[in-house]
Structure 1
Amino acid sequence: MDNYATFFEKIRESIQREEFIKISLGDYNGTELYLKNVYIKPVIIKREKKLSFVFRYKTQDITQNFEIGTGIMEIHGLLKVEGFRMATLFTETENLVCQFTKKGLWSIRKENPTAKKPVVLTHDKQKERKLDSADKVYLQELRLTDAAGNVYKNAQDKWRQINHYIEILSSILQRLPQKDTLNVVDMGAGKGYLTFALYDYLVHTLQKRTSLVGVEYRKDLVELCNQIAVKSNFKDLLFIRGAIEDYQPESDLDILIALHACDTATDDAIAKGIKHGADLIVVAPCCHKQIRREMEKSKTKNELDFLLKHGIFMERQAEMVTDGIRALIMEYFGYQTKVFQFIADAHTPKNVLVVGEKKSVNTQRQEEILAKIKSTKAYFGISYHHLERLMGIA
């Protein structure tokens, strides 16, 4: 067993033996701007042990919680893919340092223990919120808070979702190119919970002049949201009626949002974001029917066909393949992509948020991406991906 594998075996053993205290990741050499370190510790949330990750940026921290197995895979990705070159495991009996050397190999060394195990792991500390609930007319009109700014008991989950959404985007929003006015489109705005919150955060917290259009097909919701925008004195927030595929932005975009747009409507939104030069694309995909139909139709034989004969596994695989190819296509057009958990599994299985931040890409990388897309489609028996066709790279 090599040093890298040994290190991860030690992580698993320390967790199983209740000796695990924390992990720190450093010596970052990746592409994520302003990211410096990641700190991981165990927490108990709703009586279930999880791994809490604190991503430390130059100006702020972002916290995410993972199931134990998923968390260990996230650590692997941060070291092998994302660019961290040092990890220190702190246990009750020792410190274990795993480091990527100049020779391109992982070294490992033991040190005397320096960390103390906390008495309790309960995650009961009140998180700092990016948005304040006090004196927010839109929160009152949406029946999330009372006049005093107290969040209603039955609105707690929605309030957490809103803040988690803003927390995920906060560091990226601060890195957007400086412009006189940010042009933002939220496609499939629904009742506008997240649309209002984003406008509020951009205008009142970040002090960015913002023109935001919410696109929604249901007439009653469009009328309601426009009434609330007027009552809230959100002068540059407008909701219009229309379908995602039919909407045509009047100018280039800075931010494109599409949350829970069904099936290929997510592809329509991504395509519009890319074609109109959006610096930031944020989508929460839903109902991955197109790729699932392709996979079910072909019934291609591969190493995973024993799984795909089960409907629920087929559904999950179709979701991952659909969104994986979407991320690759965004990377082909120069976007750096990240995938986050958007809503806790207990509330909805549709909980993936795909975020693309516009950077750059060279021809060689584009060729590699096209080859990866082609091989992935062949492996799963997929003849086409809708976003490919929209972007003319099928």
Structure 2
Amino acid sequence: MDIQLAFIETLQQTINAGEFIKISFGDYKGEDATLRNVYVKPALIKRVLMLSFTYRYQTRDITKNFNTDEGIAHMHKLLAENRFRAATLFTSNANVRCQYGKRGRWLISREKPTAAKVPSLTHDIAKERKLQHGSKRYLQELRLTDEQGKVYKNAQDKWKQINHYIEILSNMLQNLPATATLQVVDMGAGKGYLTFALYDYLKNILKRDVTVTGVEYRKDLVDFCNQVAKRADFNDLSFVEGSIESYEPTHALNVLIALHACDTATDDAIAKGIKNDADLIVVAPCCHKQIRREMEKSKSKNELDFMLKHGIFLERQAEMLTDGLRALIMEYYGYQTKVFQFVSDAHTPKNVLVVGVKKGVDAARKAEIKATIETSKSYFGIAYHQLERLLELG
């Protein structure tokens, strides 16, 4: 039998038996002088067994995934065309080496296994969750878990989304001032998924004394969330009916959060945070209509006309300009800002998160920021930004 084919058949048998650990190809004699090795390992991708190929080049690595039949055929080709003259198959029972010898013949040799255990086939390493589901009453009430604490199949994405938000916020929350009681407000709380998770994380994981208030204009959701908080014995969590614009905090704020507040409602939230001297402001804006209307109304001429004549680019520019000016205005009032992109879960689009941490600012920097704001407005023909109007800036 052809030695290379016999080696490939051994490979296929170990894969079928669940004994395959990895295989490496070396002694490359092909045309690409930068290719060094190829490594192959099994991977479970979307619950399907795949073979993951890593091509090691001089300055980069390239990874490709094949189903098992395609992968085996490709490995046979790597040997059959004599591009690689050595291959070592690592299994739980033996290491099998196929090599092109000095006498011009292919040889197979066997050695004792160097790894007796097949590694986990999970393609993505499971992340440590900031929140543990378990048998928590609020998770059951929100229909995320059953009574045994197991996350429902149709709630997996929402559970990942909640944990992703907490993961993003965790470092900032841990660095909050050591005040007696943290005051947290979640503007536009909706059904309260994040609000409950925030309270749980701050109270039970970080062990902070905290009062959390969820603001929501839909009375039925307010009533529902207050009932859940009561049944879960979350005594310092409450929900109030009202809009972001109308809500007035009764205490100085430490944290203000507003996720997906539409258009200028995001500006209302930021303004509330600044006016109440919040230590941390976190917003995920959407529906950037106000600045786009200003740009369309003025039709200001600038070097970007060739691009902004297209509606889709105008929309994207309006989004960037809106959030860029929001960050600048927050910096004017002494916040260190960060704007970054995140994905809530596998089924939602990318979002922008604007984060401000209270740090302070000197007069010279404020003057510089103010000049930048005015220059940007003039360049794009903007009469005003809603946030500066709310804060009476200029």
Tell me whether the two structures share a fold, i.e. TM-score over 0.5.
yes
233-242 or 150-159, which deviates more: 150-159
Using the TM superposition, give the Cα deviation of residue 353 of structure 1 relative to its aligned residue in structure 2, in angstroms. Answer: 1.3
**One-letter amino acid of the structure 1 residue matched with residue 164 of structure 2:** H
User: Which residues of structure 1 form unaligned runs of 5+?
Assistant: 1-16, 20-43, 47-90, 96-118
Most deviating of 278-287 and 303-312:
303-312
In structure 2, how many angstroms separate the alpha carbons of the residues matched to 1:388 and 1:369? 13
2:248 alignment counterpart = 248
CA distance in 2, matches of 1:147, 1:314: 50
Contact 2:244 2:265 in 1 (8 A): yes
Q: Distance in 1 between matches of 2:383 and 2:342?
A: 30
Letter of the structure 2 residue corresponding to residue 299 of structure 1? K
- The CA deviation string for residues 68-100 of structure 1, in whole angstroms up to 9 with x for no partner, is xxxxxxxxxxxxxxxxxxxxxxx95369xxxxx
Partner SS, residue 343 of structure 2: coil
Q: 1:188–1:217: 8 Å Cα contact kept in structure 2? A: yes
Correspondence for 1:209: 209
Measured in 2, the distance between the counterparts of 1:348 and 1:287 equals 16
- Paired residue for 1:224? 224
**Residues 349 and 316 of structure 1, relative CA distance in 2, 3 Å threshold:** farther
TM-superposed deviation, 1:195: 0.4
Q: Over residues 211-264 of structure 1, what are the superposed CA-to-partner deviations in whole Å (9 max), with x where a residue is unaligned?
A: 111110000000110011011110000000001111111121000111111111
Aligned to 2:356: 356
Provide closer, same or farther for how the CA distance between residues 349 and 370 of structure 1 changes in structure 2, counting only shifts above 3 A.
farther
Deviation at 1:319, TM superposition (A): 1.0
**Per-residue Cα deviation, 1:104-140 (whole angstroms, up to 9, x for no partner):** xxxxxxxxxxxxxxx9998510000000011221111
* Matches of 2:330 and 2:121, distance apart in 1: 39
Give the TM-score normalised by the residue count of structure 1: 0.69
Whichever of the two has the greater Rg, that structure is 2
Question: What is the deviation of 1:178?
Answer: 0.4
Instruction: Provide structure 2 residue ranges, at least 5 long, that are not aligned to the other structure.
Output: 1-33, 37-43, 47-55, 61-118
The amino acid that maps onto 1:303 is E
Within 5 Å, give how 1:141-220 maps onto structure 2: 141-220=141-220
Q: Please show how residues 55-204 of structure 1 align to structure 2 within 5 Å.
A: 93=58, 124-204=124-204
CA–CA distance in structure 2, aligned partners of residues 218 and 280 of structure 1 = 26
Provide the alpha-carbon RMSD of the alignment.
2.6
| Whole-angstrom CA distance in 1 between matches of 2:303 and 2:346 | 31
Identical columns (%):
70
Question: Is 1:164–1:342's contact at 8 Å kept on the other side of the alignment?
Answer: no
Counterpart of 2:379 in structure 1 is 379
Q: Does 1:272 find its partner at 2:237?
A: no
Cα distance, 1:173–1:93 mapped onto 2, change above 3 Å: same
- Distance in 2 (CA, whole Å) between partners of 1:388 and 1:226 is 34
For 1:93, the aligned partner's letter is Q
Does structure 2 conserve the Cα–Cα contact (< 8 Å) formed by 1:286 and 1:350? no
- Given the two structures, how large is their TM-score scaled by the length of structure 2? 0.69
Conserved in 2, the CA contact under 8 Å of 1:183 and 1:212? yes
Shift of 1:155: 1.5
| Contact 1:45-1:122 within 8 A present in 2 as well | yes
Deviation for aligned residue 1:305? 2.1
Q: Secondary structure at the residue paired with 2:336?
A: strand
Query: Compared with structure 1, are the counterparts of its residues 196 and 342 closer, same or farther at alpha carbon in structure 2 (3 Å cutoff)?
Result: farther
Task: Mark the CA change 1:18 to 1:267 in structure 2 (over 3 Å): closer, same or farther.
Answer: farther
Count the aligned residue pairs: 289
Residue 45 of structure 1: CA displacement? 9.1
SS in 2 for 1:351: strand
Deviations 1:165-209 (A, max 9, x none): 111111111111101100111111011000000010000000001
The 3 A distance-change label for structure 1 pair 276 and 208 is same
Equivalent AA in structure 2 for residue 292 of structure 1: R
- Asked if residue 390 in structure 1 is aligned to residue 384 in structure 2, the reply is no
Alpha-carbon shift at residue 311 of structure 1 (Å): 2.1
Task: Check conservation: 1:345, 1:351, Cα contact below 8 A.
Answer: no
Tell me by how many angstroms 1:342 deviates: 3.5
- CA separation of 1:120 and 1:372: change in aligned 2, threshold 3 A: farther
